Chain A
Amino acid sequence: MALLAEVVNGHDLLSVVWASLLAGLGLTGAYAFAILGGARAVDLSRSGRSAEAVIFGVLCALALAVVAAAVVYGIVIMVNK
């Protein structure tokens, strides 16, 4: 147990857990919102509800921007590792 406590930094471990949860759930959630926005925008514009379609289109664009930022940040992490 003493060796474990010596080699495992509890703070690092906790950081891994929260960073992974944030990144994993953030990425999948943002992409799901992008799909929701895109799908709803298509459906609404087909049924002539342009104003609502634009709102969902914006949701899709914003969510895709979050995903793109996450991907770029991921590549930056790899480059600076």
Chain B
Amino acid sequence: MHSDVIVVIVVATALMFDFTNGFHDTANVVATSISTRAMPPRVAVGYASVLNFVGAFISLQVAATVANDVVQPDLITPLIVFGGLIGAIAWNLITWYFGLPSSSSHALIGGLIGSAFAANGADAILGEGVVGKVMIPAIVAPILAFVVGGLGILIVYRIVGHQRPGLVNAGFRAGQVLSGGLLALAHGTNDAQKTMGVITLALVANGTISQEHFHVPSWVVISAASAIALGTYVGGWRIIKTMGSRIHKMDTAQGFAAQGSGAAVILASSHVGFPLSTTHTITGAVIGSGAAKRLSAVRWGVAGNIVVAWVLTLPAAASIGALTYGVTRIFGTGALGPVVVSVAILGGSAVMFARRAARGPTVTAPEAG
């Protein structure tokens, strides 16, 4: 009975993480389209939301990999998963508060690492997986996307530089609808499945699903797809603003070059079996498309803050995950610990939203135009 209550709390927390994931990462998909007025804000997030939902059903391969590669799966308990999820949610909310695009996947992995470390020590961490699947791609993604986005915009300017702006702008706006759609699909495929993987892991740890017959139940797929789609539709407007206009003012060609080359880098790297973070890739491409036009066009202070947030993501989410696990264990191994922490995190989130709301729009779409 106790363990079933904990699993219900873990599933609810995982869906909450999935919501923050969509909410936090909407900017990756829609920021450039909104900034260049390829789509009105509400239409852009609605479009991304639908395609995120569809993307979650495309493949289930990623769902099995999240926890298996970075922590020892046989040492995982629902309480460890809970600690990891709280670490990820808290870091997503902190970076949203400051309007910084950071990787939700890295936050989830960091949270799980911290929670597993607090429970079982260093033996629970798969160092090879952390370096190979998290740290190296985190360095490669933004640099590669920066170069491809930068070269991409130079090629675009070279080809269409002498044409009438009216037709060219209309063409690139249409192209952004296409490239944004690809990004939203890729995001749904990657990120909703991470939540599916975590929920399934908790179900396996609880004995609800046998480890020999590992599969993702249909209700997990549908609920995870719905949570990320809903979060995407709500839209993290603060991060959208950072990505769309605070790094640099984009023209339509830059918007297309950033989105198109970002989508191409994500899919090409998936194709060769080296998946890269959507957030890191798109941010790198956005900065690259600005820097290639003129180095001074990029607000390097904003870019620097983003990089600092990336560096801090893993240790910060891990610390919060470890702390959460420690706090829940004060209340024993029952459901009381997760209940107390859930109430605390809900209260903290409400305070953050209220403080942000007092300063301006938080979850509402900005006026178009």
Contact count A vs B, C-beta below 8 Å: 147
Contact A16 B264 (CB under 8 A): no
| Residues on A with beta carbons closer than 8 Å to the beta carbon of B268 | 16, 19-20, 22-24
> A1-17: which have CB < 8 Å to B?
3-4, 6-8, 12-13, 15-17
Contact A78 B159 (CB under 8 A): no
| Residues on A with beta carbons closer than 8 Å to the beta carbon of B62 | 81
Nearest neighbor of B185 in chain A, beta-carbon distance: A78
Do A71 and B182 contact each other (CB < 8 Å), given the known contacts A25-B261, A26-B264? yes
Contact B136 A8 (CB under 8 A): yes
B151 within 8 A of A: yes
Interface centre among B152, B153, B160, B267 (most CB of A within 10 A): B267
| Residues on B with beta carbons closer than 8 Å to the beta carbon of A26 | 264
Contact B167 A39 (CB under 8 A): yes
Q: How far is the CB of B89 from chain A (nearest CB, A)?
A: 26
Contact B265 A23 (CB under 8 A): yes
B263 within 8 A of A: yes
> B251-285: which have CB < 8 Å to A?
253, 256-257, 260-265, 267-274, 276
Q: How far is the CB of A75 from chain B (nearest CB, A)?
A: 7
A55 within 8 A of B: no
Binds A, one of B53-61, B199-207, B325-333: B53-61
Interface centre among A16, A24, A31, A74 (most CB of B within 10 A): A24
Q: Interface of B with A (CB < 8 Å)?
A: 55, 58-59, 61-62, 127-128, 131-132, 136, 140, 144-145, 147-149, 151-153, 155-156, 159-160, 163-164, 167-168, 171-172, 175, 178-179, 182, 185-186, 189, 253, 256-257, 260-265, 267-274, 276
The 22 listed contacts between A and B (C-beta, < 8 Å) are A3-B127, A12-B274, A16-B144, A20-B148, A21-B148, A24-B148, A27-B261, A28-B261, A28-B264, A31-B172, A34-B171, A35-B172, A39-B164, A39-B167, A40-B163, A42-B167, A67-B178, A74-B264, A78-B185, A78-B270, A81-B58, A81-B270
**Known interface pairs A3-B128, A8-B131, A29-B152; 6 further A-B residue pairs with C-beta atoms within 8 A, sorted by A's residue number:** A13-B140, A28-B260, A67-B178, A71-B182, A78-B186, A81-B61
Q: Interface of A with B (CB < 8 Å)?
A: 3-4, 6-8, 12-13, 15-17, 19-29, 31-36, 38-40, 42-43, 67, 70-71, 74-75, 77-81
Smallest CB-CB A-B distances: 10 pairs:
A24-B261, A24-B148, A7-B132, A23-B264, A35-B171, A28-B152, A19-B268, A32-B159, A23-B268, A24-B264
